[in-house]
Structure 1
Amino acid sequence: MEIDALSAEVVDACIAIHRELGPGLLESVYELVLAGELKVRGLKVDRQVPVDIEFRGQRHLAAFRIDLLIDDRLVLEIKSVEQLSRAHGKQLLTYLRLTGQPVGLLLNFSGATMKEGIRRVVNEYRQPQESSASPRLRVNQTIGD
């Protein structure tokens, strides 16, 4: 499935969940329910994917976690906040850049409608050739559901 069709499937699932459950639940609840819904739809879903970072010769295990990774290429960052801020978008863009993933969806379930809580973020970063200052990453998918 191409990335746009994959994104559309995720958005469709989010809208259905938001219509049934409504706003106001914890992020962890939306993450759990969305993961289950996407699995029912036949997608590969990994939850709370730890990402290791190597920076200047030091390896940092599980430096951060991706909320949901869909089909090994679409990063989902789940929020349940009054309003998305620019920092949320920057966070997702950094996750995409550090993992080398092309696209992510920032999903805020606290709005009156789900449509207002969806932002698509695209990674246009191209990592320079081997630089000693650039971090090395490994997505560790052995942990998660």
Structure 2
Amino acid sequence: MTKRELTHLSYEITGYAIKVHKALGPGLLESVYEKCLHYELNKNGYDVKQQLIIPVIYDDLLINTNLKLDLLVNGLVVIELKTVESLLPVHEAQILTYMKLLKVPQGLLINFFTDNITKSMKPFVNEYFNMLED
């Protein structure tokens, strides 16, 4: 996987999020958007894990947590969905931590409580992205 291919994958995911948002509009529960986006991605051939439990390892100790990731696409893109008036720094920290724990190069923080997904969505990359070829 190259940086360009991964960026294209995120672009496609964003398109499906926009499709879901256009069909449903803002104002629903996060879980509704999650189920619909999961359906769209699966229907279009992506490998999607939903409500994936994230393992936390501290000093060789596996800690049982209840950390659940909304969606993981093709093992490469973490998707964290929100339905809030505005995204907060804690939401950004959450997705960055999930990406680090899972060693995933890209993340999309998508807020469905908006009139425009593209304006409110935040993409993230980390050191695993930087290790990919251009």
Q: Which runs of 5+ in 2 are unaligned?
A: 129-134
Please state which structure has a larger fraction of its residues in helix.
2
In the alignment, the residues of structure 2 paired with residue 11 and residue 62 of structure 1 have an alpha-carbon distance, to the nearest angstrom, of: 29
Is the 8 Å Cα contact of residues 96 and 103 (structure 1) preserved in structure 2?
yes
What is the Cα-based RMSD across aligned positions, in Å?
Answer: 1.7
Is the 8 Å Cα contact of residues 53 and 63 (structure 1) preserved in structure 2?
no
**TM-score normalised per structure 2:** 0.87
Task: Describe how 1:102-117 pairs up with structure 2 within 5 A.
Answer: 102-117=105-120
Secondary structure at 2:62 match in 1: strand
In the alignment, the residues of structure 2 paired with residue 52 and residue 89 of structure 1 have an alpha-carbon distance, to the nearest angstrom, of: 19
Q: How far off its partner does 1:94 sit? A: 1.1
Q: Which runs of 5+ in 1 are unaligned?
A: 126-145
Q: How many residues of Structure 1 are paired with residues of Structure 2 in the alignment?
A: 126
Structure index of larger Rg = 1
Please state which structure has a larger fraction of its residues in strand.
1
Q: What whole-Å deviation, never above 9, does each CA across 1:26-80 have from its counterpart, x for those lacking one?
A: 1111000000001111111110011121213432124411110000111000001
Q: What whole-Å deviation, never above 9, does each CA across 1:74-133 have from its counterpart, x for those lacking one?
A: 1000001011112111111111112111000000000111122210011127xxxxxxxx
1:3 counterpart = 2:11: no
**TM-score normalised per structure 1:** 0.81
Identity %: 39
Task: Describe how 1:1-145 pairs up with structure 2 within 5 A.
Answer: 2-124=5-127
